[in-house]
Amino acid sequence: MSLQKMMSRKQLDFYFSGPEIPLVMGPTASGKSALAMEISRVYQGEIISADSMQFYRGLDIGTAKPSAAERAEVKHHLIDTLELTRKSDIFSFCEMAERAIADIRGRGKLPVIAGGSGLYIHALMYGLDPLPADESLRRELDAKFDSEEGFAELKSIMEKTCPGDYARWYNHRRKLIRAYEVFLLTGTQISVLQKKRTAFQARKDIKTFYLEWDRDILKKRIAERCAEMLESGWIEETKNLMAQGLFETPTARQALGYPIIARYLAGEFKKDKLAEEISIATWQFARRQITWFRNRHPEATVIPLPKELK
């Protein structure tokens, strides 16, 4: 069922006719993109993607990018901005998003932000973490520790020097490298610094909306979308991206679903299990998104969606 049928013009006006920039968030397959399209049609908007994997050229079907027709109808920003080999990060996203907001407003249009990348949305809404960073130091640390062997060495260092950070991130290479970077720059663990900082306040020029579904219905939507994406050529897309080195990339390799298709292509299971495997992983990811958005965005207006599919 489309968002147009879920929400009348009266409901759209109730939620979105205010002066604030609407930011639509929610778990995967919750209808964020469809609602953003409808808001943009009604209120002369342009869409800013807050999906960290839609930044990448080539990650099309698996990230549910808007179609060519949708992009021709409504201008989209922050889509297809990076090559697979580039690393995406929160700081760059916030800079690009702020530039897009200013550009859209400068042309008399409404910025409409939509996506499901929790860290990116939280940073845009509450501000960037003021922890220090040094690009040259980070490159040095990446070269030394961003590998299986290096990670083992880093864990040994962090367990002794930063036990609090180690306890939080001993299984997360990138986060542990970042924690070591902050420690070298400040002499203090991130876990200690974060306890000292003043709580951020949500910005006032953006109004957040959270799309809430009955969980069983959302699971059905996820399963249906996975099947549709596979029928649309997701397997062939994955083959092409693997040939381009997808799983050797710094960030794009984290895109949901592609590693499971790679396992299928390697013969780990038969094709009739593929949609189920992806649906299960996607639902697990959606559950984490639900927890994140409900806990980290108390300011969000909850939009309850239909309890059953027609």
User: What average pLDDT does range 289-293 have in this prediction?
Assistant: 96
Of the given ranges (29-43, 184-198, 235-249, 285-299), which has the lowest mean pLDDT?
184-198
Q: Which amino acid is at 266?
A: A
Domains defined for the chain, CATH in brackets: 8-127+201-304 (3.40.50.300), 135-196 (1.10.20.140)
Question: CA-CA distances (angstroms) from residue 123 to 49, 94, 176, 251, 284?
Answer: 14, 7, 19, 18, 23
The span from the CA of 16 to the CA of 13, in Å, is 5
pTM greater than 0.85: no
Q: Is the predicted pLDDT of residue 306 greater than 90, yes or no?
A: no
Q: What is the pLDDT of residues 214-258, one digit of tens each?
A: 999 999 999 999 999 999 999 999 999 999 999 999 889 999 999
SS3 (DSSP) at 207 = strand
Q: What is the pLDDT of residues 137-152, one digit of tens each?
A: 888 999 999 999 999 9
Q: What is the pLDDT of residues 27-70, one digit of tens each?
A: 999 999 999 999 999 999 999 999 999 999 999 999 999 999 99
User: What average pLDDT does range 74-83 have in this prediction?
Assistant: 97
Question: CA-CA distances (angstroms) from residue 218 to 28, 91, 211, 290, 301?
Answer: 9, 31, 11, 11, 19
The span from the CA of 265 to the CA of 219, in Å, is 25
